[in-house]
Amino acid sequence: MITRKRLAAGVCGLLATLTVGLSPTTATAGEPAAKESPKVELVLDVSGSMRATDIDGKSRMAAAKQAFNEVIDAVPDEVRLGIRTLGATYPGDDRQLGCKDTKQLYPVGALNRTEAKTAVATLAPTGWTPIGPALLAAADDLNGGNATRRIVLITDGEDTCAPLDPCEVARDIAAKGIHLVIDTLGLVPDAKTREQLTCIAEATGGTYTSVQHTDQLSGRVRQLVDRAADPVVTPVATQGAQQCQGAPRLGPGLYSDRESFGEHRWYQVAVKPGQELRASVSIAADRAVNNDYGVLLRATTLHGREIVRGSEAGDGRTDVISSGLRYPKGPVDEDGERSTETVCLQVSNSFSAAPGVKTTPGMPVELTIDVVDGPDGTSDVASFGLGRGWWLLLVLALTGLLAGLVWGWLSRWRISVWRTN
């Protein structure tokens, strides 16, 4: 027989068991470890050539300092940031000493913005350009743990400390399998600098960007630091067709392809009723190309009727050119209902190059596709592409028109009264 005491004891035991089960405990064997905060090190060239005054009317060093201050202000709290310099301390002609001139200006860790800015403010263009040794040291700075790791190298020239080839250094870093990405930015680069920095970036799966202006530098570095905090999805390799019929059908995601100079490539995307298609494309000029080029992204029906397009032109100041488009409404069938539509995406470029420049393989293409639900599931982004707020603009326009008519009538009435008196 269950007495009240036994029942009470059983309930207490059950509560105690639940309390133990629900209380915080240490991780048991087999559970994944908590993800570490991402680590980024900015590697800045402080060699003598950074004195050149060809970026927005100021020196390359001044532009870099301004960009660094803006980046430091915008670094996400979860990112552990460090700064390393090359060519910042030794002004002499001794090659052996000059090629050892790299030091960590600010350690990788939680960022004290004031201290980091103070450290950057002390820099002055000084010595050599030991890119290879700086990359090796930066890899050591970021060593250990399972965090996302990224080096962002900013320089205005190629390495001056061969035979330690920085491209081979980058390949060795990649071969270690430590998933460290190196992005490179060239300040007003020449052809040799562009080639070397592109090689360094490609060896580790990073990106290369040519920089001509201060806002380009700060914007790109901020973007790369943010990318470390929120790593991008690895693109899925695909191959566009020469026409829409038979083109690969792509869903939401990030895709990579290769496109030759002046080529057109096609892809298909299914857009269901109530959905909106958003697409963008970027083409990288990974070799010397002529100035004045462009990229076109078109959405058409299977029958070739153009729905919407996006285009962008470049003049040689950047190595990546991008464009995008939005398609807010699907077609209406005989019953007045919207139906699933196959949208054809065309990616075209107008790049050209001097004789002797290799055209194969084609230039790298990144295509981003997203299909999202429209407002209230109706995809009514509609009239004039202004969404549901178009009626408010109409009301404001009518109000302005009526106010103008009333004001004009009052003005004429006052003038007539004045003349009468």
**Residue range 233-288, pLDDT digits in tens:** 668 889 999 999 999 999 998 898 999 999 999 999 999 887 888 898 988 887 88
For range 159-182, the mean pLDDT: 87
Average pLDDT over residues 83-102: 94
DSSP 84-115: EEESSS--SS-HHHHTT-EEEEEEEES--HHH
Give residue 378's pLDDT: 42
In percent, the amount of the chain with pLDDT more than 90 equals: 46
List the beta bridge partners of residue 86: 45, 102
Range with the poorest average pLDDT among 20-24, 152-156, 316-320, 333-337: 20-24
Contacts of 181 (CB under 8 A, 6+ apart): 149, 150, 151, 204, 205, 206
Interval 159-174 mean pLDDT? 89
DSSP 211-266: E-SHHHHHHHHHHHHHHHHSPPPPPEE---BSSSTTPPB--SEEEEEEE-TT-EEE
DSSP secondary structure letter of residue 6: H
User: Which of the two residues, 59 and 228, has the higher pLDDT score?
Assistant: 59
pLDDT band (50, 70, 90) for residue 334:
low
Evaluate if residue 384 carries a pLDDT over 70.
no
Homologous superfamily (CATH) of 39-229 is von Willebrand factor, type A domain (3.40.50.410)
Identical topology for domains 39-229 and 236-377: no
Domain residue ranges in the chain: 39-229, 236-377
Averaged confidence pLDDT in the chain? 82
Please, what CATH class does the domain formed by 236-377 belong to? mainly beta
In Å, what is the CA distance from 411 to each residue of 402, 404, 405? 14, 10, 10
pLDDT given for residue 377 in this prediction: 42
2: pLDDT confidence band, cut at 50, 70 and 90?
Answer: very low
**What would the mean pLDDT of 318-322 be, rounded to a whole number?**
75
Radius of gyration of the chain (CA): 30
**pLDDT the model gives residue 45:** 96
> Residue 61 — very low, low, confident or very high, per pLDDT cuts 50/70/90?
very high
> What would the pLDDT profile of 137-164 be if each residue is shown by its tens digit?
999 999 988 888 999 999 999 999 988 8
Query: Distance (Å, rounded) from C-alpha 158 to C-alpha 47?
Result: 11
Which of 345, 292, 342 has its CA nearest to residue 318?
A: 292
Count of all residues that appear for the chain in the document? 421
pLDDT number for residue 314: 81
What pLDDT, on the 0 to 100 scale, is given for residue 385? 38
Q: On the CB side of 332, how many CA atoms lie within 13 Å of its CA?
A: 6
